[in-house]
Amino acid sequence: MTKRFALGIFDDEDVLLHAIENIRTAGVKIHDVFTPFPVHGIDDALGIERSRLPIAAFFFGLCGTSFALWMQIYMLGFDWPMIIGGKPNISLPAFIPITFELTVLFCAFGMVITFFTITKMYPKLKVNVMDKRATDDKFVMAIELKDGETNLSNLSQLLRDNGASEVNEKEMTKN
Amino acid sequence: MQHVSPVREPLVTGGKTYHDITQDVCRQVEAKPNIRWMAALSVALILLGVFIYSVYRTLWYGIGEWGLNKTVGWAWDITNFVWWVGIGHAGTLISAVLLLFRQKWRSSINRAAEAMTIFAVICAAMFPVLHMGRPWLAYFVFPLQNTFGSLWPNFNSPLLWDVFAISTYFSVSLVFWYIGLIPDFATIRDRATGPIAKRAYALLSMNWTGSAKAWSRYETVSLILAGVATPLVLSVHTIVSMDFATSVEPGWHTTIFPPYFVAGAIFSGFAMVLTLMLVTRVVFKLEDYITLEHIALMNKIMMITGSIVGVAYITEFFIAWYSQVEYEQYAFLNRATGPYWWAYATMMSCNVISPQVVWFRKVRYSIPLTFALSIVVNIGMWFERFVIIVTSLHRDYLPSSWAMFSPSIIDIGIYVGTIGLFFTLFLLFAKFFPVINMAEVKTILKYGVDNGPTYTGVHTHAHVAEPATVHGVPASAPVNYNKHD
C-alpha cells in the first residue's frame, strides 16, 4: 500500500518544536517526526506517551532474580546436595552475587529485545527513509496526504509559515 | 563570533554545525585507510601473531610453558586478567555513571571508551580460559547437567561468581554499546555510496529512521541500561577482588579489597582512556570534540581515584600492624622490603606519587605530560596486581615452600600478545565505526553557548522563518532574535 506524505524540512530543533505545536493546534495530524538526535520536549509536543519500558525492565529483572535463586537453591539444595566447607547446603549470602548478575542480565536483555520488537527494529538490507538528511542535520516532519482531505499547497504554506526551509512530497510503500 | 556563557565552557569548540559533526566523524569511516592506520594495524597484527603462537604453545605443551611453580600458582595470568578487567571499567563509568550524573562532557568520549571496555574484557577473558589448561572443557563452569561432565558448579565459590560477573558484564556492555551505535550506523547508511557499505550499515542500523517514538524509547532504554550497568560495574571488580579476599592468604584476606579494587580499576581505566583519546583526537582531527577541557576533567578523575588507591595502600599497612597477626605483618613487610621491593616501589611511585602532579593546572592541560602520566599509571597498576598476587604467594605460611617467580618467554608473549589483540580490535573499530557518538554530540552542541537560536513566540511568523533561510550558519551561532528562556 502506497501512502503520500508532505515532508516539512526544518533546520533547527527549537523552530521544529514550536512548528509542531502550531501545526497540531491548526488541526493537522502529524504522522511522525524524524530527527538526527533525541530532541528534548518533542514527546510532549507530539503528545507521545511516556514509554512503559521501565515496567517491562522491572519484571525482566524480577524473572532474573527468581530464576537465579531457584537455580542455585534447587541445584545445591535439592538436586545434588554437597557439603562445602561445612556450610549449609542452601547458603543464601553466597548466592547473592550470582543472583545480582542474573538480575542485571535478564533485565538488560529482556528490555533490549522488547525495545527491538515494539519499535520494529531488525536487520534489513535496504531501509526506506523519508529523507536521508534526517540522520544528518535536518528535522523532518511527515504529514500524511489523504485524497480529498489534505491539500499539499495549503499544507506547504502552513509548514513554511512555521519555519520549514523546504517542503517536499514523498511516496512510501508500506512494508 | 560565538558568545560563551560565563558559567559553562562550551563542550564542542570551533563553531560547528550539525552537518560538520556528521562530516568530521564520518570522514574516517568513508575515507580509504591511510598509511598511518595501516602501519599501526601491521604492528598490532604482528603482536597478535605473538599471541597466537604463545597460545598454541600453551595449549599444545600445557601450562608448564609458563613460569609458574608449586608455590606461585597464580602470577602473570591473573595479574593480566585483573589489569585488563580494570581497564575496562572506565568505559562503563563514562557511559553509565556519568550519564546518570548528567555529565554532558562524556558524550564525545563515551563511544571509544565503551569500545575499549569491550576489547579489554575480551583480552581479560583470555587469561582464565587459558589457565584452565584445557579450554575446550570451559563449559564445565556453567551450570549444565551431570551428563555434560561435572556435577553442578559450586555456587559458593568466588571464581564461579566471576564467571557470571564477567560474562554478564561483557554481554551487557556489548548491548549498551550497540544500542548507542544504531543511530550513528543509520547516519553512515544514509550517506554511504558503495554497494557493500550501503548494505552492511543498513543491516547494522536495524531499520532505524530516527522517528520521535523510537528516540523516546531509545532514551528510556539507554537510561535503564545505565542504571543497571552502574551497580554491575561496581559488582564486577568487587567480585574479582573476592577471588583474593575470600581466601585465607596473608595480604589477600582483607575486607578493604572491594572498594580498593574498584577505585584502582577506574584509575587504570581512565589512564587507558587518556592514552587512547590523546592519540585518537590527533590522528582523526577531533580536537574540537575532545578538548583540553575533557583531558583536564579525566585527569581530575584519575587523580582522585589514584589518591583513593594511595589511601588504601596505607590503610592495608596500618591494619596489618594493628591486627597483630604475624603472618599479615610479614606479608606487608616482605612486600616493601623483600626480594620484590622494586615492584612495590614501582607501584607506589607510579600510582600514589605520580598522579599528584595533576594538582598543577599546567599539567592537567598539557598533552605530552598527560600522555606520559597515563602510561606511567598503566605501568603502576600492572605492578599493583603483580605485587598483590606474587608477593603474597611466594612467601606464605611454610618457609620451606618459599620460592621466587620469573616469567617464561611464553608468559611475556601472551601478555604482549593481548596488547596486540586489543589494538587490532581498537584500530578496526576506529576505521569502520564512528569513534564519536554523533547523535549525542549533536544534542550538546548548544550547551554553554549563549544566545543560541531559540524560538521567541508563536505570533511572529516572519521571525520564525529566519534561521531556516540562513544557510551555512552554525546552529550554535548567535541569531538576531531575542532569547526568552
Average pLDDT over chain A, rounded to whole?
90
User: What is the signed CA dihedral for A70, A76, A80, A84, rounded to 10 degrees?
Assistant: 180
pLDDT in tens, A43-64: 999 988 888 999 999 999 999 9
Per the CB < 8 A criterion, the answer to whether A28 and A164 are in contact is: no
Backbone angles phi, psi at A157, to 5 degrees: -65, -45
* Residue B19: how many other CB atoms lie within 10 Å: 18
Backbone angles phi, psi at A138, to 5 degrees: -110, 150
The full length of chain A comes to 175
User: What is the signed CA dihedral for B188, B95, B114, B276, rounded to 10 degrees?
Assistant: 100
C-alpha cell read off for B101? 550524573
- The pLDDT confidence band at residue B478, using thresholds 50, 70 and 90, is very low
3-class state of residue B284 by DSSP: coil
Which helix (DSSP H) or strand (DSSP E) does residue A8 occupy?
strand A2-10
Concatenating the DSSP letter of every residue in B224-280 gives: HHHHHHHHHHHHHHHHHHHHHHTS--TTT--TTHHHHHHHHHHHHHHHHHHHHHHHH
CA B88/CA B270 separation, integer angstroms: 9
- Contact call for B217 and A18, based on CB within 8 A: no
A11 and A42 co-located in one domain:
yes
- Contact call for B213 and A161, based on CB within 8 A: no
pLDDT of residue B466: 41
Among left, alpha and beta (phi > 0; psi -120 to 50; other), residue A17 is: alpha
A104 and A158 co-located in one domain:
no
- The pLDDT confidence band at residue A16, using thresholds 50, 70 and 90, is very high
More confidently predicted of B90 and B457: B90
Per the CB < 8 A criterion, the answer to whether A18 and A39 are in contact is: no
The fraction of chain B above a pLDDT of 70, given in percent, is 90
Backbone angles phi, psi at B30, to 5 degrees: -85, -25
pLDDT of residue A175: 53
DSSP A45: H
CA A146/CA B238 separation, integer angstroms: 60
Q: Which residues contact B276 (CB under 8 A, 6 or more apart)?
A: B112, B116, B426
Q: Is residue A64 domain-resident?
A: yes
Q: Is B462 on the interface with A (CB under 8 A)?
A: no
The tally of domains found in chain A comes to 2
Q: Is residue A123 domain-resident?
A: no
pLDDT of residue B459: 41
Query: Where would I find the H helices in chain A?
Result: 13-25, 42-46, 53-73, 92-118, 152-161
Q: Is residue A63 domain-resident?
A: yes
Search chain A and give the residue with CA nearest B150: A80
Residue labelled with grid coordinates 548567535: B478
Query: Where would I find the H helices in B4-150?
Result: 18-30, 35-61, 76-92, 98-100, 110-131
pLDDT in tens, B107-147: 889 999 999 999 999 999 999 999 998 899 888 888 887 67
Q: Is A164 on the interface with B (CB under 8 A)?
A: yes
pLDDT of residue B8: 66
CA distances from B92 to B239, B299, B471 (A): 16, 17, 39
Residues facing B4 on adjacent strands: B449
First-to-final CA distance of chain B: 21
Residue B264 scores a pLDDT above 60: yes
CA B385/CA B314 separation, integer angstroms: 16
Q: Is residue A136 domain-resident?
A: no
Interface list for B 242-261 with A (CB within 8 A):
242
Q: Is residue A59 domain-resident?
A: yes
- Contact call for B440 and A37, based on CB within 8 A: yes
Per the CB < 8 A criterion, the answer to whether B328 and B251 are in contact is: yes
A42 and A81 co-located in one domain:
no
Q: Which amino acid is at B107?
A: S
The fraction of chain B above a pLDDT of 90, given in percent, is 71
pLDDT in tens, B271-303: 999 999 999 888 888 999 999 999 999 999 999
Within 8 A of A39 by CB-CB distance, chain B residues are 212, 215
3-class state of residue B142 by DSSP: coil
Residue B384 scores a pLDDT above 80: yes
A156 and A110 co-located in one domain:
no
Residue B477 scores a pLDDT above 50: no
With CA atoms as reference, report the closest residue to B74 among B291, B308, B392, B382: B392
Q: Which amino acid is at B87?
A: I
Within 8 A of B179 by CB-CB distance, chain A residues are 112, 115
Q: Is residue A124 domain-resident?
A: no
Q: Is A85 on the interface with B (CB under 8 A)?
A: yes
Q: Which residues contact B322 (CB under 8 A, 6 or more apart)?
A: none
Interface list for A 9-68 with B (CB within 8 A):
10-12, 14-15, 17-19, 21-22, 32-40, 42-43, 46, 48, 51, 53-54, 57, 61
pLDDT of residue B468: 41
Search chain B and give the residue with CA nearest A129: B209
Range of the domain at A169: 2-49+141-173
A66 and A36 co-located in one domain:
no
Per the CB < 8 A criterion, the answer to whether A104 and A68 are in contact is: no
A91 and A145 co-located in one domain:
no
pLDDT in tens, A108-165: 999 999 999 999 999 988 888 888 999 999 999 999 888 766 677 888 888 999 989 9
Residues B65-87 have a mean pLDDT of 94
Within 8 A of A126 by CB-CB distance, chain B residues are 198-199, 202
A66 and A90 co-located in one domain:
yes
Interface ipTM: 0.94
Q: Is residue A30 domain-resident?
A: yes
Residue B453 scores a pLDDT above 90: no
Residue labelled with grid coordinates 593481548: B418
Q: In what order do the strands lie in the sheet with A166-173?
A: A32-34, A139-145, A2-10, A166-173
A39 and A59 co-located in one domain:
no
DSSP A4: E
CA B102/CA B142 separation, integer angstroms: 38
A84 and A101 co-located in one domain:
yes
- Contact call for A38 and B207, based on CB within 8 A: no
Q: Is residue A21 domain-resident?
A: yes
The full length of chain B comes to 485
Residues A75-97 have a mean pLDDT of 90
CA distances from A33 to A10, A143, A166, B423 (A): 10, 9, 15, 40
- Contact call for A133 and B190, based on CB within 8 A: yes
CA A96 to chain centre: 32
A60 and A44 co-located in one domain:
no
A24 and A78 co-located in one domain:
no
Which domains occur in chain B, in start order? 18-452 (1.20.1630.10)
Within 8 A of A134 by CB-CB distance, chain B residues are 190, 209-210
CA B261/CA B236 separation, integer angstroms: 10
Within 8 A of B189 by CB-CB distance, chain A residues are 127, 135
Q: Which residues contact B201 (CB under 8 A, 6 or more apart)?
A: B185, B186, B188, B189, B192
Residues facing A8 on adjacent strands: A141, A167
- The pLDDT confidence band at residue B465, using thresholds 50, 70 and 90, is very low
Residue B225 scores a pLDDT above 60: yes
In this prediction the pTM is 0.90
